[in-house]
Amino acid sequence: MRCVPVRPHRNIAVFIPHMGCPHRCVFCDQHSISGSGGFDESRVPEQIETALQTIPTGTDVEIAYFGGSFTGIDRGLMLRLLELAAGYVRAGRVSGIRLSTRPDLIDSEVLGILRQYPVRAVELGLQSMDDRVLEASRRGHTAAQGEDACRAVTGAGFALVGQMMIGLPCSTPESERRTAERICRLGACAARIYPTVVFRGTPLAGMMRSGVYRPLTTGEAVWRSADVLEILKAHGVACLRIGLCASESLTSPEEALAGANHPALGELVWGELYYRRLRAMLGEDELLGQKIELILPAREISKWVGQRRRNLDRLRLESGTEVRRVAGDWNASEPRAIPWKAY
């Protein structure tokens, strides 16, 4: 099942904060995350119409029910929201529906209902495939339930998107890499990586205060997420997002107390990934430590160079290699280096 459309794609995200969720994961403060204190069903059509006006024609659009546990909300409300979105699909105004939910809220009955609607993708909040981490995070489900739900979603013909977290209680870089591997092997066609943010008022904030939990630094969030991103890329699994999005009111230090709350986290992680690839390309090459010219895939020059030339500066500091000139090659998919010659 295709989950990354070839056309430019936009989701019209409708956040349904915490509704229907029987749990309280230690990190979860859905009110902060969605930026909306409650949910008003009557305003959803207006929200969709407003979003549609901003989307260029030719864009592949999905109505995305995000934020809570969609398949666990009041059944009548769930059906009304599906019917509403299906109306937009029938009218040719959007292409499909996607939704996010928990693994333990997926079963054959629910999947049977979803199949009656133009649902394309089911995003599963797996968070970890390590039972210790799931228990310490009070997720209320096991890794085995996560695996079963992944198989059920793909078996029912939906595109599977796996959502996982970095830096949860008891989590290690190794368990995060294993989780990413499992998500790929279970047939996900895309994933989202969410490094943990500590929100005010959550159990995790209490754990942090008592010293039971140490939040991620930005640097840790970047390299641990980059490890996961490398695994996704190796399996051809698209990464749809790294970190919570700007609309998720994260910059307020009153709400987000600690953890991976950098506004450009995704860019930093991609920068780290490209730096590693640059460094691997140079290896122990004779050009290491020399003045060089870099020939980079033209479509991705900014990613290779990094934010404010960060990757080139880092290359100089860590290996003494000085990039004197950068050129783009439209036919190249990998970078190459040649000795610098002053012209």
Distance CA 103, CA 123 (A): 9
List the one residue from 68, 118, 195, 266 that touches ligand SF4 (CB under 6 A). Answer: 68
Q: Does 262 bind ligand SF4 (CB under 6 A)?
A: no
- Nearer of residues 202 and 321 to ligand SF4, judged by Cβ: 202
Is residue 192 a contact partner of residue 123, using CB atoms and an 8 Å limit? yes
Q: Tell me the site size for ligand SF4, rule CB under 6 A.
A: 11
- Which residues in the 1-30 window bind ligand SF4 by CB under 6 A? 18, 21, 23-25, 28, 30
Per-residue binder mask for ligand SF4 (CB under 6 A), 27-56, x = binder:
-x-x--------------------------
Q: How many CA atoms lie within 13 A of 331 on its CB side?
A: 0
- Nearer of residues 125 and 243 to ligand SF4, judged by Cβ: 125
Q: Which residues pair with 338 in a beta bridge?
A: 293
Nearest-approach distance from CB 305 to ligand SF4, in angstroms? 36
Is residue 62 a contact partner of residue 5, using CB atoms and an 8 Å limit? no
List the one residue from 96, 118, 125, 167 that touches ligand SF4 (CB under 6 A). Answer: 125
3 state SS of 57: coil
Cα–Cα distances in angstroms (integers) from residue 254 to residues 103, 194, 206, 214, in the given order: 31, 20, 15, 18
Q: Does 102 bind ligand SF4 (CB under 6 A)?
A: yes
- Give the residue carrying structure tokens 């599963």: 124
Q: Does 122 bind ligand SF4 (CB under 6 A)?
A: no
List the one residue from 13, 48, 65, 69 that touches ligand SF4 (CB under 6 A). Answer: 69
Q: Which of 63, 64, 54 is nearest to 90 (CA)?
A: 63
Distance CA 129, CA 40 (A): 34
Site for ligand SF4, rule CB under 6 A = 18, 21, 23-25, 28, 30, 68-69, 102, 125
